[in-house]
Structure 1
Amino acid sequence: MTERYDVIVVGAGFAGLAAARELRHKGASVLVVEARDRVGGRTWTDRRLGRDLELGGTWVHWAQPHVWAEIQRYGLEIVASPTPERAVWRAGGRRHEGTPDELFGLLDAGMARSLEDARQWFERPYEPLACAGPDLDKLDGQSMSDRIDELNLPPVEDELVRGMWALNFNGPIERGAVTQALRWCAAASGSWQLLFEACGTYKLRAGTRALAEAMAADIDAEIRLDTTVTRIEQGADGVVVHTSSGASLTASDVVVTLPQNILGSVDFRPALSAVKQLAAEEGQTSEGVKIWIRVRGEVRPFVFFGGPDEPLTYGQAEYTVDGDTILVAFGPQVSRLDASDRAAVTEALHRYVPELDVIDIEWHDWAGDPLSGETWGMQRPGQLTKCLHDLQTPEEHVHLAGSDYATGWAGFIDGAIESGVKAARRITANR
């Protein structure tokens, strides 16, 4: 028997939850289908290494208006990650140790120069195509590596700035668009320091799970877990959504929140536009890892940092538990570090802090996960000007939503919520 709804939302990450809630509050009948056995998408609070850890997206900030509004709506608390007391970095083939101020002093000039025109290009960050034209097309064709090449920084500063952008893109900066970096900085009022704070300082005390579950409870509609969509057929009266179990679900509209890298995993009939297909085939930049590492003993807070060729480019002490310390670390390419191999992770960590005794590690392979295919969304050169408008444009009854398709804080929880709210508003306006 075919089930009928006003809107079917594919995916129960923050974009899908935001869209479903807004639609329900406007009186639409909604069904959310989610392939995973949980809500949250590429955020995932889970009990690992003796405490709740964030395997995916984590940090939030009051400079991010959509997620901050949700935090206030549901009365959630934030806490800060520990302030590092020392810094370790690798550059020029050597290990260095000093204060965090010394490390960030080496980054400051290069980061500021690499982003100095952010507000010039994106005066209104939530209208990234406001200055569309040949000049923006040319800029969008540049990679972040191209931009840093132009700066002619001293070798150590050059290596560290490249490492910072490998961290931010969670992938090779040769395949990361300079416009993506400038959009992020423009959203942070043109300040790379504020951008860095927003990326890794404040987190939800009860975890991202608390926000996802609060939004899910506010939907007042069924969220059907363990339900994989295989085909979406569009006709004059709406859509039919087919699942791997053989169910056929019909609706007037469908909101699809698949990340860009797996957009091609669903059979759309008729096919999505040529531009959407191109974006899916190209994929976006991120292909890295986030690893939680438990080390023996309580270690005073520190940060480590390295260039783009390091298996781990960044890490910091995040928690203490039962007399041990838990670190969080990032590497730009999963292919260069087997994050399931404790010995390999230990070797990568010991390049910075050789005295640490690694007890255990935890991670999730988001890039290899068939339900994500990536970590956080970061555009490749050319995708802002060639793809974003089309990705945001509905195709009759099919609407894309997700952090990868956001206009503001794309790649963040904030961008996912923004995109979901906008999709719901478009559908409501046309009902």
Structure 2
Amino acid sequence: MLDRRTMLTGSVAMSASLALPMLGAHAADTDVQTDVVIIGAGAAGLAAAHGLKAAGRKAIVLEARDRVGGRAFTDTSLGPAYDAGAMFIHWAERNPWVQIARDLGVATPDESWGGGFQVFSDGKPMADADRQKRRGAFGQIDRRLETVDLAKRDLSVKDLLGDLGPDLSQIASSGLLLSIGEESDRISTRDYQRLWAGDDLVVPSGYGNLVARYGAGLDIRLNQPVGEIRWDGPGVVVTTPSGSLRANACIVTVPVGVLKAGAIRFTPELPMRTRDALDGIGMGALTKIALKVEGDRFGITPGTSFLEAGSPHRMMNFDLFPEDKDLIVAYCGGDHARELSAAGPDATRDHLTTLLTSMIGSDIAKAITGISFPAWWTDPFSRGSYSVCLPGREAAREQLAEPIGGRIVIAGEATAGGGAMTVGGATLAGRAAAAALARIKA
């Protein structure tokens, strides 16, 4: 479980720091069409829109995709549904999605692993001695965090584990590929240390479906990729293929990967401090790939997990027949996930089939009839799974959340402090941005 030790600065603090001008006097001059335009209909954008609506402000949400939810997406392309993006309601004790789900009548039980867990090395069950070695190595990150003095300087997780030697260090950090989704030399230890921990809940009906339902009643316009945000006048002008939209202010909730790729042009360009913050935040590549399996289940109990860990940097986890569905869902992260994303669905299906054949037998190849591979890393509307602070740049999240020109706020999981990398964190960040912008008079 991730070690989430410090608290995100709350919406009250953010509101106090965001001394926005009253832009209502300029409404007639600029032909304002809405109080606030929100870019992105993921959790942060939806939360911001609900907050503004509750405050009596008009908000329009522009979404590039043909659906609501962003990186929370329940995929049904293979028939049985699975969450291709976010899956867990993390740190349920404080996560706003517990109450949102309750309000919508959606069940959120505790996570259950069901059928057990087996570890393989190059297709063969891993020897007990090697498994014990792995368990000991995995605990090294938390043990080091309890003793290392990070007040003097930040470290990469790789450097934190450096004196273990290359083999044990790689084993110890390999689990981060399936949680953070990034290589250990690109992860700030300070940022990792502050991530919140707590109980995890699941959404059997689909976390993506739940997030999409949360968008009901909002003014959301799909298939509207934003090409430019102009903020050289008294408000903002946001341009999409359908035309331009004028507003008093703008909340930008697209993933950091999209901003770093320059997919949205800012005129004038973003301030140096904002660009510096973006330079300090990368995007992980945690990836899920679903295989449709028909016919024989080879005596495997639904909910069983197989972990292929023979090569730590190419680790792959398989959830077999989750919730008794005819699916196998594979997970990987880091550079291996990037390689598969670039290779595409056909090559990835061949790779996964080879791995499963070595663990289950050759008949599995005939049972696999389809693949669903969202590939967040190459998705132009995400450019990665979720944000990761680079070593020495743990303050970049707060820096990125600083207001721009009194009329633009960037909000999302990347600005959520200890709640980063989660739907809950994105929601809190969206609410905080809305609380600040609600003070603008239309």
Alignment of 1:207-246 (within 5 A): 207-217=206-216, 220-245=217-242
Distance 1:114 1:352, change over 3 A: farther
Distance (whole Å) between structure 2 residues aligned to residue 348 and residue 370 of structure 1: 29
For residue 54 of structure 1, report the CA deviation from its aligned partner: 1.1
Distance (whole Å) between structure 2 residues aligned to residue 351 and residue 274 of structure 1: 51
What's 1:168 paired with? 179
Contact between 1:117 and 1:182, CA under 8 Å: does it hold in 2?
no
Distance (whole Å) between structure 2 residues aligned to residue 178 and residue 351 of structure 1: 36
Contact between 1:144 and 1:177, CA under 8 Å: does it hold in 2?
yes
The answer on 1:345 being equivalent to 2:352 is yes
Distance 1:233 1:7, change over 3 A: same
For residue 393 of structure 1, report the CA deviation from its aligned partner: 0.7
Q: 1:213 is paired with a residue of what secondary structure?
A: helix
- The one-letter code matched in structure 2 to 1:69 is Q
Distance 1:327 1:233, change over 3 A: closer
What's 1:368 paired with? 378
Alignment of 1:4-403 (within 5 A): 4-61=33-90, 62-79=92-109, 80-90=111-121, 96=126, 105-107=135-137, 109-116=139-146, 135=151, 138-139=153-154, 142-150=155-163, 152=164, 155=167, 157-184=168-195, 187-188=196-197, 198=200, 202-217=201-216, 220-245=217-242, 247-263=243-259, 264-281=262-279, 284-295=282-293, 296-297=296-297, 299-300=300-301, 301-306=304-309, 309-319=312-322, 324-333=326-335, 334-337=337-340, 338=343, 340=345, 341=347, 342-350=349-357, 357-358=364-365, 359=368, 360-385=370-395, 387-395=396-404, 396-403=406-413
Contact between 1:115 and 1:181, CA under 8 Å: does it hold in 2?
no
- The one-letter code matched in structure 1 to 2:354 is E
RMSD over aligned Cα atoms: 3.1
For residue 212 of structure 1, report the CA deviation from its aligned partner: 1.7
Distance (whole Å) between structure 2 residues aligned to residue 416 and residue 81 of structure 1: 25
Distance (whole Å) between structure 2 residues aligned to residue 42 and residue 117 of structure 1: 35
How many residue pairs match? The answer is 394
For residue 16 of structure 1, report the CA deviation from its aligned partner: 0.1
Distance (whole Å) between structure 1 residues aligned to residue 263 and residue 278 of structure 2: 9
For residue 158 of structure 1, report the CA deviation from its aligned partner: 3.7
18-27 vs 104-113, which moves further: 104-113
What's 1:127 paired with? none
For residue 279 of structure 1, report the CA deviation from its aligned partner: 3.9
What's 1:191 paired with? none
For residue 165 of structure 1, report the CA deviation from its aligned partner: 1.5
Distance 1:44 1:98, change over 3 A: farther
After superposition, give the CA deviation of every residue in 1:243-293 in whole Å (9 maximum; x if it has no partner).
123x11111111001111211221112211213223445651413422123
Contact between 1:232 and 1:242, CA under 8 Å: does it hold in 2?
yes
Distance 1:339 1:288, change over 3 A: farther
- The one-letter code matched in structure 2 to 1:145 is K
For residue 154 of structure 1, report the CA deviation from its aligned partner: 9.6
- The one-letter code matched in structure 2 to 1:289 is T
Distance 1:82 1:251, change over 3 A: same
Distance 1:153 1:354, change over 3 A: farther
Contact between 1:242 and 1:248, CA under 8 Å: does it hold in 2?
yes
* Structure ranking higher on relative contact order (CA contacts 8 Å, 6+ apart): 2
Contact between 2:305 and 2:320, CA under 8 Å: does it hold in 1?
yes
Distance 1:282 1:408, change over 3 A: closer
Q: 1:40 is paired with a residue of what secondary structure?
A: coil
Identity %: 25
Distance 1:108 1:321, change over 3 A: closer
Contact between 2:34 and 2:248, CA under 8 Å: does it hold in 1?
yes
For residue 311 of structure 1, report the CA deviation from its aligned partner: 3.1
After superposition, give the CA deviation of every residue in 1:76-120 in whole Å (9 maximum; x if it has no partner).
2124343342321439x9850669x968844553243144369x9
Distance 1:361 1:115, change over 3 A: farther
Contact between 2:134 and 2:171, CA under 8 Å: does it hold in 1?
no
TM-score, normalising length from structure 1?
0.82
Q: Gaps spanning 5+ residues in structure 2: where?
A: 1-29
Contact between 1:308 and 1:332, CA under 8 Å: does it hold in 2?
no
After superposition, give the CA deviation of every residue in 1:282-330 in whole Å (9 maximum; x if it has no partner).
65141342212344415221331527744343333352657x4523322
Q: 1:383 is paired with a residue of what secondary structure?
A: coil
- The one-letter code matched in structure 1 to 2:401 is Q
After superposition, give the CA deviation of every residue in 1:26-63 in whole Å (9 maximum; x if it has no partner).
10011111010000001111213331111111111314
For residue 394 of structure 1, report the CA deviation from its aligned partner: 0.8
17-26 vs 372-381, which moves further: 372-381
Q: 1:229 is paired with a residue of what secondary structure?
A: coil
Contact between 1:44 and 1:55, CA under 8 Å: does it hold in 2?
yes
Q: 1:69 is paired with a residue of what secondary structure?
A: helix
What's 2:12 paired with? none
What's 2:9 paired with? none
- The one-letter code matched in structure 2 to 1:344 is H
Q: Gaps spanning 5+ residues in structure 1: where?
A: 122-134, 189-193
What's 1:125 paired with? none
